[in-house]
Each structure stands twice: as C-alpha cells, then as structure tokens.
Amino acid sequence: MTALHINGGIPLQGKVRIQGSKNASLPILAATLLAKDNSHILNCPQIADVEHMLSLLRNLGCRVSRSKEGYQIDSAPAGACKMSGEAITGMRSSLCLLGAMLGRFGEVAMEHPGGCIIGDRPIDLHIKALEQMGVVFSEEAGRLVGKAAKLHGADIRLPIPSVGATENILLAAVQAAGDTLIAGAAKEPEVEALCRYLTACGAEIDGAGTSIVFVRGGRSLHGAQFKVPSDRIVAGTYLFACVGCGGSVLLENAPCEQMEAVVRAAESMGARCQPDCGKGSYGTEYGRESGLYVHSCGRPAAVERLYTAVYPGFPTDLQSMALAVLTRADGVSRVEENIFENRFRVVEPLRKMGADIELLEDRTAIVRGKDTLRGARVEAKELRGGAALVLAALMAEGESEITGCAYIERGYENIGKDLRDLGARISSV
C-alpha cells in the first residue's frame, strides 16, 4: 500500500475486530530467545514491525513458522551473530532485543535503533540499568556493543517509568544470577503481558503491572503458548474515528479495562461508550470475548484540557487521533503532550485540511474547532500521525489522498479494510 484515497463525511456503522497488540507482541517475540525452546505466540498482528522482528529472530538462527493462530518460534538453534543493521535501525522496538540477547548470550552488538521521528528517545536509561547488572557497553564502528562476563541481579530505580527500559531490565533479569528489584517500573499493559509470558515460561516475577517489580533470576526457562492481548491503541483509533464521524460501532475484543482514560476522553467529546469486558480481554482462553460499543452523533464537543501521561493516563499514542477529532469540535480545546515533544508534527497537514490549531511553546496545542474540514493530499510522517490523518480524511468533505502509508502499516494490519467494514469510502493503491 502506497496511498489511501478517502471520500469523507460518512458516519460509521457496524463492527470491527481489534487485532493483537503491536506493543505487546514485539517484546514477547524478543523474549522467545530466552526460552531455548519452541514457543507458540498467538494473536500476533500481521504488521510490518512484527515482520521485522521475526526477520531479526531468523537472522539470529531461530526457526520461525506461521500457523493459523500465530507464530511458532524455536529459539534453540539461535546464536549471538551480528544482526542486520538495516533491520535494527528501521524499527525502534528492536531495542528490546538488547536485554534478550544479553540474557541469552551475555553479549550484544547492534546498530542504534530507529523508528518514527516523534521526539528524542534516548536509551540512557536502558544502558545505565543494564550496567548495574554487570554489562559493559562500548561503541565500535558506530555500533552499540554490550558484554557481561556474568549477568547479575541489581536494585534498579528508574527516574521515569520507561516502558522500553522496564522491558529490557526484565528480559535480562530473568536470566541473571540473583534477584532484581525494579523501582519506578512502567505499569503499561504491554509490560504486564511480557511478565505473563515470561512467567508462563518458568520465570518468577512479582508485582507485574505495578511500579515495584521483583524478579528472581536464574530460573531455567522453557517454551510456552501465549495469546497476545488486543491492541488498545488500534481500538482507540477506531473509537475516535466514530467520535469524529458519528455513527454506531462495535469494537470486538477491545481491551476495555485498559482504556478507561480513552473512554473518558471520548465521553467528554459527547460519545456514548458501553464496555462489555466479560471476564477478561484476552479472548476465550481467559474469558468470553470482550467488546466496546461506541455511539456518537453530531459534532464532537470541545474539551477544556486533554493531556497525555504514562499509563493509566491518556496514552501519547492516541494524542494525534484525539487532536484530529477536536479540529471538528464545537468550541476551543487544549491538548498537552507530556511524553514526546514532536507529536505535533501532524499539525501542519491538518492545517492543510482546514484545521485551526495554534501551537504554544510548552508542547500545548489550542484547537479551535471547525464545522468541516476539507479533503487534501497529505503525507504521513510517522505511525500515529498517519492514522490521525486517516481520521481527519474520514471527517472531511471531499476526497483526500494520504501518502507515506508505510508508516501506518507498522502498526495497523489493514486500516483500509477495517474502516471499509464500518462503511467508510476508502481505497488503497
């Protein structure tokens, strides 16, 4: 897919099934390295980032095969060879292989990870934490090299609750000698999912999903079957599409209990949301299927203040989508970005579509809602901003063309088909 053509102004109706979580799948796939055995990872989304990660695992010697439900990964034959620089620099989430490779091989050499340009995302927290566990890092020919003569547990206190750093510490700690305490750990559902997979493989982890996590290291790990939870960001994207366009939508298998801040924001914009989470949000293996019903009519309401925060606050990955919806809101809204400084890169293409957005110096946007947006040719520059442009095009009058769709494909299996299933007039080329 190189471009999306969208004729906007159509309310959304129907149901769409939410794919598996991108942000949970990637560290779990990296963690299969530690099992030295066969794992069956179910409900992995068929997206570009997952394919990149699988390619990296194959490059390391893992046997990877696709099943109807997911992927079989046999990591027994893996070796500590150097990974493809192109693959590493093209995906930020390849960084989670740092902890996995140190845990498995005691060494790692990789290019500096890349990904979307949404702001400075230094890896200092990862490096400093792993150094406490006995890893010595150096730069060799532009590559990051880490070696540990003997990986050991440590008392690690993170100054900010970094998801990536928490995951890397976990991946190293489960194979380190001794115990590891992580204070200030990220509480995101994706971190908890990684802990559940590692526990299924035989690791001993206490406090998953809290700010204090304790790992008893050095346990022998084995392969496991694990079902990846549904993607709360994809669910939020389609929720906000309904808020912006109007209509009635059922988001099948949406992880409702992970979306409280998102649902509150949507309801403040005038939507009616009815969660039906059953006994769990991970499919029939953990309880009956969940869902989220969304109904919206008329223009969205403006919000006095919407601000991003670490979980369980409003996620930065959905800020661009909420911003797009508020360009049509009845009134003036204030949006504050507290995680990544470049999340407002989407503002310029939204202005091209007629949005009235004023950017302040403190990562704040003042959005004066317009009755309508107009179709335009715009380019996605990063994953979530690209999805926000899709929402803006759905709301706009006339036809829009969105290029740069390779970014969108990093996180959405088939955003065009999903939205067509809800009645949108959208085609891909």
DSSP string, 390-403: HHHHHHSBSEEEEE
Provide φ and ψ at 118, rounded to 5°: -120, 15
Q: Do 144 and 114 form a contact (C-beta atoms < 8 A)?
A: no
DSSP 184: T
Joined together, the tokens standing for residue 336 give 């504050």
Which of 44, 62, 116, 245 is the catalytic position?
116
Residue spans of beta strands (DSSP E) within 302-355: 306-307, 332-336
Terminal alpha carbon distance of the chain? 5
Alpha-carbon gap, residue 324 to 396, rounded angstroms:
11
DSSP 169: H
Active site residue 256: no
Alpha-carbon gap, residue 161 to 184, rounded angstroms:
5
Place of tokens 């194979």: 175
Provide φ and ψ at 19, rounded to 5°: -70, 170
Q: Which residues contact 254 (CB under 8 A, 6 or more apart)?
A: 18, 230, 232, 235, 239, 275, 281, 290, 291, 292
Helix residue ranges per DSSP H, 60-96: 85-89
Q: Which residues are catalytic?
A: 116
